[in-house]
Structure 1
Amino acid sequence: MNLTKVDLNLFIVFDAIYTEANLTRAGQIVGITQPAVSNALARLRETFNDPLFVRTAQGMVPTPMAQNIIGSVRSALSLLRISVQESRIFTPQQANKTYRISMTDLTEAVILPPLFQRLRRLAPTVQIESFLSKRRETTKELAAGRLDFAVDAPLNTDPQVRHVKLMEDRYVCAMRKNHPYAKEKFSLDDYLAMTHIHISSRRSGLGHVDLALGKMGIQRKIALRSQHYLMASMVLQQTDMVMTVPERFARRHELHYVHLPVNDVPSVETHLYWHESTDQDPANRWMREQMIELCQHVTAHEKVMDKAS
């Protein structure tokens, strides 16, 4: 193996193939044609005297050799990126940058209004694109630079992805005001007697409350499954249905809510995710600081309002 004259761009292609498992998509990320990717892979194979990737029905699968060197390759590329990024200075007032953030409609409603108020003052020419990326693709999107941040539950354990907790909340049972069950004493039997709305970005699967009920050998009656909290709140206002939601959501939408009569339901945590390759990037770091500080202010304000009510 002779690495003395290897083009560093080959390792960028290697990382893209490893991430995408597809030569065409790897080329799109790097900005070269599929034949150029194939040529780069051929040169890498000659250098390492190993196939590196084997074509299968599931895509380009890395060989043991490729799996052994990917960590070192990514570390080296990260160091190169950091050295370039640290030489740049981010000036918010003059920045003409678009941040791409994956978040649900619920986190949009909590974070984006105050964030934009702050950005208009500190970085008036900065833009934000918000959309929901599939959870299983988040790491790949962050690594490829197609996504700057993700705001999600603490489920991503990929070592390439950094994260910090933004907010925490508890689940409550929300309903319209003047609901027949809007009373102080609210039992598990009351909860099970109701018809429920369940919010999930997945087409199927159980929520935290359903898992807790399942341990008790019981289940609730779900009449509507949707991916949008804001739509569901409108349904609540017009029916006697109920919805298990974070307390922050119920309070913001002026819904009546009661303590959830189900044990072992974990609190709702919201984390901010970013890729390790952008950890030292001034623009990424600045926006992280804004979002963290903003969520701290939101939480502090809500505590004051709770004490006053």
Structure 2
Amino acid sequence: MNLSKVDLNLFIVFDAIYTEANLTRAGQIVGITQPAVSNALARLRETFNDPLFVRTAQGMVPTPMAQNIIGSVRNALQLLRVSVQESRIFNPAQANKTFRISMTDLTEAVVLPLLFQRLRRLAPQVQIESFLSKRRETTKELAAGRLDFAVDLPLNTDAQVRHVKLMDDRYVCAMRQGHPLGKEKISIEKYLSQSHVQISSRRSGLGYVDLALGKMGLQRKIALRSQHYLMASTVIESTDMLMTAPERFARRHGLHYADLPVEVPAVETHLYWHESTDQDPANRWMREQIIEICQQVSRNEAKTA
């Protein structure tokens, strides 16, 4: 007997017949017609190779086979009901769940400290796995459930991926305190005369600054290309190299910074999730925490600006 392909709805009908001992009343409970109940019973009889219920003057009487399996059937249906109910409710205080988030080291530094302050208070058993997913794979990872969220720049995403803007910032020219260019407005000539650190998760390709310079027929000298802002800041602090970075990062790490001599678009950070999890209580709760944290960061920065 192969139960792997049995329609679970048949067991709901089975339970109703066992309880009511009447096909018509069983159908009323389940919400189907009496012929549909008879059809379901016929399929169950074929599956188990047993009559399961025998019609008598007292109603549909279960056979020994039916009596043997009713306990397991009801336990399984109850487990299914509990699972469905739990999927509609998320209790952060009792939840033992891991959220997987793709984000850069720059976003980690802004979001994770404040997020874990909240988790310790509201959801002490919730865990976070943070790693950087390749941008071209973000949509696939979200759709497959291997990733719950991505925090990144605006992406060309599939229509099934939802997103909301978390924060925006502007790029500045960052340098060490006491840098020779720190006391003056940086001209394009002096900007190009210096060596630069470029931050990119890709092995090659141009950034916003390089694209803007390219339109002017200009090119800067890249001495170091790195994936990580936090590492690059330690290089900046001990050299005269320049780094184009978000103002928030330069300010948080005590770097001196000045306006760029070339116009580049503002940097936006968005939160991404798949539409299949849009109504999931756990996903929605975590989204709310991340959004509120970023709003808090923006408010605090506005007060100190």
Distance 1:159 1:6 in 2: 35
Distance 1:85 1:272 in 2: 28
Partner of 2:276 in structure 1?
A: 277
Partner of 1:133 in structure 2?
A: 133
Q: Shift of residue 188 of structure 1?
A: 1.1
**What do the CA deviations read for 1:12-58 (whole angstroms, capped 9, x no partner)?**
xxxxxxxxxxxxxxxxxxxxxxxxxxxxxxxxxxxxxxxxxxxxxxx
Runs of 4+ in 1 over 3 A off after TM superposition: 5-8, 83-87
Contact 2:103 2:130 survives alignment (8 Å)? yes
**1:105 counterpart letter in structure 2:** D
Partner of 1:153 in structure 2?
A: 153
**What do the CA deviations read for 1:241-276 (whole angstroms, capped 9, x no partner)?**
01000000000000000011102x100000000000
Contact 1:198 1:222 survives alignment (8 Å)? yes
Contact 2:176 2:255 survives alignment (8 Å)? yes
Give yes or no for the alignment of 1:96 onto 2:96: yes
Taking the TM superposition and a 5 Å limit, the aligned residue runs for 1:192-211 are: 192-211=192-211
Question: Aligned pair count?
Answer: 227
Give 3-state SS (helix, strand or coil) of 2:210's partner: helix
Contact 1:210 1:219 survives alignment (8 Å)? yes
Q: Shift of residue 298 of structure 1?
A: 0.2
Q: Which runs of 5+ in 1 are unaligned?
A: 9-82
Distance 2:272 2:237 in 1: 34
**What do the CA deviations read for 1:205-232 (whole angstroms, capped 9, x no partner)?**
0000100000000011101001011110
Q: Which runs of 5+ in 2 are unaligned?
A: 9-82
**2:287 counterpart letter in structure 1:** R
Greater radius of gyration (CA): 2
Partner of 2:57 in structure 1?
A: none
Contact 2:212 2:262 survives alignment (8 Å)? yes
Distance 1:6 1:197 in 2: 61
Q: Shift of residue 190 of structure 1?
A: 1.3
Give yes or no for the alignment of 1:164 onto 2:156: no
**1:93 counterpart letter in structure 2:** A
Contact 1:86 1:281 survives alignment (8 Å)? no
Taking the TM superposition and a 5 Å limit, the aligned residue runs for 1:109-124 are: 109-124=109-124
Contact 1:85 1:282 survives alignment (8 Å)? no
Taking the TM superposition and a 5 Å limit, the aligned residue runs for 1:137-286 are: 137-263=137-263, 265-286=264-285
Q: Shift of residue 156 of structure 1?
A: 3.1
Give 3-state SS (helix, strand or coil) of 1:222's partner: strand
Distance 1:6 1:169, change over 3 A: farther
Distance 1:174 1:93, change over 3 A: same
Q: TM-score, normalised by structure 2?
A: 0.72
**2:146 counterpart letter in structure 1:** R
Contact 1:86 1:280 survives alignment (8 Å)? no
Contact 2:87 2:280 survives alignment (8 Å)? no
Taking the TM superposition and a 5 Å limit, the aligned residue runs for 1:20-59 are: none
Distance 2:178 2:249 in 1: 18
Partner of 1:59 in structure 2?
A: none
**2:198 counterpart letter in structure 1:** H
**What do the CA deviations read for 1:122-141 (whole angstroms, capped 9, x no partner)?**
11111000000111111111
Contact 1:93 1:124 survives alignment (8 Å)? yes
Q: Shift of residue 185 of structure 1?
A: 2.0
Distance 1:85 1:246, change over 3 A: farther
Distance 1:238 1:154 in 2: 33
Q: Shift of residue 192 of structure 1?
A: 0.7
Q: Shift of residue 189 of structure 1?
A: 1.1
**1:147 counterpart letter in structure 2:** L
Contact 2:185 2:259 survives alignment (8 Å)? no
Distance 1:142 1:86 in 2: 22
Q: TM-score, normalised by structure 1?
A: 0.71
Distance 2:215 2:85 in 1: 50
Identity of aligned residues (%): 80
Taking the TM superposition and a 5 Å limit, the aligned residue runs for 1:5-84 are: 84=84
**2:291 counterpart letter in structure 1:** I
Q: Shift of residue 155 of structure 1?
A: 1.1
Over aligned residue pairs, what C-alpha RMSD do you find? 1.9
